[in-house]
Amino acid sequence: MALKKKSKSSTAASAAGSARPKTSGRLRRRHASRVSQDKADAAPASASSAPAPTEASCQSPLQGYADFITGLEKEHRLRRIPSEDAGDRIDMLSNDYLGLAAEADRYLPEFHERFPDARFTSSASRLLSRANRYHIELEDYLGRLYDRPTLLFNSGYHANVGIIQALALPGTLFLADKLVHASIIDGLRLSGADFKRFPHNDPKRLHRLIAGLHGAYQRIIIIAEAIYSMDGDMAPLHELVSLKAEYPEVMLYLDEAHSFGVRGPLGLGLAEEHGLIDSFDIIIGTLGKAAASAGAFAVTSPVMKEYLLNTARSFIFSTAISPAQAAWSILMIEKITQLNDRRLHLQRLSRHMVSELSRRLNFESPATTQIVPLIIGDAAEAVLMAGHMAAGGFDALAIRRPTVAAGSERIRFSLNALLSEKDIDRLISLIGRYR
């Protein structure tokens, strides 16, 4: 079709409109396009213009989550919170290694007498509100025990994630043991820093890694756990300290979550037991396990404490633990320092259990601590065995993927100082009957 010539009236209209500022052809085209799109957005969609429904779009938005749960059930990996009522079953689930949580009622009168004004909430981050004396007292008390500054965190998870992120300045490389806790892995991933994981408790491989990377980074931070929560074995602390002495850019980060309260003359952990507290740049202790409380702390240096206070996001942006919790922690740590007999008893129990597993059942365990795993190697079988344990009077947890690698599914026995060797012998007999 041929275009019609403009009429005189249309020409006049164009002339009248020419008084407005001219725009380029490109801008006019953009404007026209935008107007057209606006009209299209405003107009109701017709049946013919709407996309054809797919099978996925017809499903509930929750369907993917439900499918995931179904998949876990099929693989015998679905987790549920255990019931509170354990009856007369012996607790081998918790991390109450010294039995302080089980005996908490006996310490309540002393707590109320000493800390009558301890509030149950701090209501804000410590950087936003007035300093609370119980937070300060707890940090000061821990500082005197370690002879180094300490900084409180809300949990071990908060401590690891926040501190590792804060440490990740440019020029930083992290080297983490393959079996470190999920909180450390999450901290490494969130940090955006370079990191590598070395074979578990293999200082020779770690040494080769450092030798190959020596000079490429301003700082190399080695991360290990004093006691590993799934295998129940210990880090080679002296070898780690030797690496720091050999390479000046090396820093050492030690998570004592499962050793605070349990090892050392005062219960300060494995570094205390070996006389190596000052050799580690950062030591993480938790208050929710042997200390029968909640929260965590970092043992640092004056410079590092100031740095973390200003950079660790999990400290800056979290409401602090309650003053009451801090006060209770002071009381519990005081008790911990006086319970070396329980620590020694716990070590004897562990040696007895590992020895009897080997002697009576020909089962070798990697454990050298209060955590004793029984490797099953199959998720369904681990769940069945946990049920067998419960029926026999012991609460023990089936540990499955992703907490442990596929093929290493296990029952994790968490010993505590209130158990006796007779309890351990009963447990060994129960395991033997299942096998």
pLDDT digits (tens, 9 = 90+) for 85-106: 667 899 999 999 999 999 999 9
Bigger pLDDT: 4 or 410? 410
Q: Give the pLDDT of residue 26.
A: 38
Q: Which residues of 279-310 are buried (b: 16+ CB within 10 A; e: fewer)?
A: bbbbbbbbbbbbbbbbbbbbbbeeebbebbee
pLDDT digits (tens, 9 = 90+) for 133-143: 999 999 999 99
Q: Give the pLDDT of residue 56.
A: 62
Q: Does residue 274 register a pLDDT over 90?
A: yes
The domain spans of the chain are 84-100+340-434, 105-336
List of E strands, 56-129: 90-91
pLDDT digits (tens, 9 = 90+) for 57-66: 678 888 998 8
**Mean pLDDT calculated for residue range 181-193:** 97
* Mean of the per-residue pLDDT values of the chain: 88
Query: Which uninterrupted H or E stretch holds 197?
Result: strand 194-198
Q: Give the pLDDT of residue 171.
A: 97
Instruction: Give me the CATH topology for the region 84-100+340-434.
Output: Aspartate Aminotransferase, domain 1 (3.90.1150)
Q: Does residue 14 register a pLDDT over 60?
A: no
**Mean pLDDT calculated for residue range 144-155:** 98
- Please name the CATH architecture into which domain 105-336 falls: 3-Layer(aba) Sandwich (3.40)
Q: Give the pLDDT of residue 263.
A: 98
Q: Does residue 44 register a pLDDT over 80?
A: no
pLDDT band at 282 (very low <50, low <70, confident <90, very high): very high
Q: What are phi and psi of 284, to 5 degrees?
A: -105, 125
Nearest residue to 177 via CA among 209, 149, 142: 209
Q: Give the pLDDT of residue 210.
A: 97
Question: How far is it, in rounded angstroms, from Cα 340 to Cα 334?
Answer: 12
Amino acid identity at 385: M
In the chain, the percentage of residues whose pLDDT exceeds 70 is 86
